[in-house]
Structure 1
Amino acid sequence: MNIDDGEMAAGVTLRPLGAGDAEASAQAYAVNREHLAPWEPVRPDSFFTPEGQRERIEGLLRQRDEGAVVPWVFEEKGGRIVGAITLTGITRGPFCSAYLGYWVAADRQGRGLASAAVSRVCGLARDAVGLHRIEASTLVENTGSQRVLEKCGFGLIGTAPQYLHINGRWRDSRLFQRILHDEDPALRNAR
């Protein structure tokens, strides 16, 4: 699977998450802890440490090797991580689908990073991963993320009550999808 690096916006590169990213990831999550808290599950303090990130990254890389996940980070020149985007729950066969999740650092909001990353990952999901469809969800009140998804060709498919346990309680989410191609998966994967 070719998931090449590439510059998304001025000085920010999308690249695959690597085993050596624990320190930079811990720092990124620690700096953005309050910014991300309304949109994520409650995290233990260990999540924000290099060791906690090392464990998380090792798990993601194992899942990547099994074909279930593809994780990337947004990296500024100098090595600072300013966001991440991940395809999870990759399913083959007649479904050929995955879930998309992403975040952008508080001080990099409003600069088009999320839109650039979502657009790039949709192309990689179609061309390198071979997916037909990507699903993403946002909390009902997360209108910024909804705008990103709509700008990148995702359509609203519905609202799911009490869909995710976020910031300490079950929350309603809006579900979006983007169809990447309409080819027969057996023929597409035979190439």
Structure 2
Amino acid sequence: MNLTRPLIDDVELRLIRPEDAASFCAAQARSREQLGPWEPRRADEWYDPAFQADRIKGLLERDNVIPWVLAAGDRVIGTATLSNIVAGAWRSGDIGYWVDVTEVGKGLASAAVAAVCDLADTELLLHRIAASTGTDNERSQRVLTKVGFEQYGFARDYLHIDGAWRDSKLYQRILNTREPGQAPSTAG
């Protein structure tokens, strides 16, 4: 299974590696203020490469999570994570993503989300990807709608973000209408 995709210029979407920990921490630290309103509050250990290397190892061992980085060479400039992956009749997962503050506005988030959707459809054989955004996170909402997500709901007090329970807009993208687990047709 090939879970790597080229994005824009020299940036690729690839699985995160424990050796990415220091670069991940540097990108998170640079982007701390930008990400603050959209993420849980982070303890100081979040920015420690040893802590992140252990966290990454744990993520890579899980069956229901696929953690990618947006990488320019060996430099991490964002992540996209497909979590809560469920097979069977559900065939679904949840996507989360962020882009380094120094790289915002280049189309990388849209390219990464589109690539994850392609991989979820063609490699993981999923049917649906879900996402949520804060009600006032218009930038993320534009990313999702640009790549084919539709808002299907609203959830009150959905996530504990920036120190409080926050409402979220719920989005989904239906990837295909094949039978569960069936590969895309190669007939052309």
TM-score (norm 2): 0.94
In structure 2, distance between residues paired with 1:19 and 1:105: 19
Aligned length: 184
Report the residue type matching 2:177 in the other structure: D
**Number of the residue aligned with 1:48:** 47
Report the residue type matching 1:23 in the other structure: A
**Number of the residue aligned with 2:128:** 133
Deviating beyond 4 angstroms after TM superposition, the runs of 4 or more aligned structure 1 residues are none
Q: Which of 65, 69, 84 is the aligned partner of 2:65?
A: 69
Report the residue type matching 1:70 in the other structure: I
SS at match of 1:165: strand
Deviates more, 1:11-20 or 1:98-107: 11-20
Q: Which runs of 5+ in 2 are unaligned?
A: none
In structure 1, distance between residues paired with 2:104 and 2:23: 19
Contact 2:18 2:52 survives alignment (8 Å): no
C-alpha deviation, 1:10, in angstroms: 1.8
C-alpha deviation, 1:41, in angstroms: 0.4
Deviations 1:135-185 (A, max 9, x none): 000000000100010010000001100000000000000000000011111
Q: Which of 107, 116, 120 is the aligned partner of 1:121?
A: 116
In structure 1, distance between residues paired with 2:43 and 2:3: 31
C-alpha deviation, 1:62, in angstroms: 1.1
Matched, 1:2 2:2: yes
**Greater helix share, 1 or 2?**
1
In structure 2, distance between residues paired with 1:39 and 1:55: 24
C-alpha deviation, 1:2, in angstroms: 2.1
In structure 2, distance between residues paired with 1:164 and 1:10: 34
C-alpha deviation, 1:11, in angstroms: 2.2
In structure 2, distance between residues paired with 1:84 and 1:151: 18
Matched, 1:161 2:161: no
In structure 1, distance between residues paired with 2:53 and 2:114: 28
SS at match of 1:185: coil
**Number of the residue aligned with 2:98:** 103
In structure 1, distance between residues paired with 2:178 and 2:105: 35
C-alpha deviation, 1:107, in angstroms: 1.3
Identity across aligned pairs (percent)? 46
